[in-house]
Amino acid sequence: MSIFRGYNLERHRDDYVLILYVNTNSVELSSELGEIIKKNSQDLKEYVQKL
């Protein structure tokens, strides 16, 4: 199973932007993203509490 389910290449003036569509059924990637989201959420909560 691939980590990505598709892609799109868009041209913006003289540059190109590669958009990768993540396969949300990928266990490896999902768990890593879940940890990042939890950490960022906790960091945001701590920041708001300090205000």
- Whole-model pTM: value is 0.45
Report the pLDDT value the prediction gives residue 33, as an integer from 0 to 100. Answer: 59
Question: Which is it for strands 4-12 and 15-22: parallel, antiparallel or unpaired?
Answer: antiparallel
CB 4 within 8 A of CB 23: yes
Looking at residue 49, what is its pLDDT? 74
pLDDT of residue 24: 72
1-51 pLDDT, tens digit per residue, is: 577 788 999 998 999 999 988 777 765 655 665 566 666 666 767 766 776
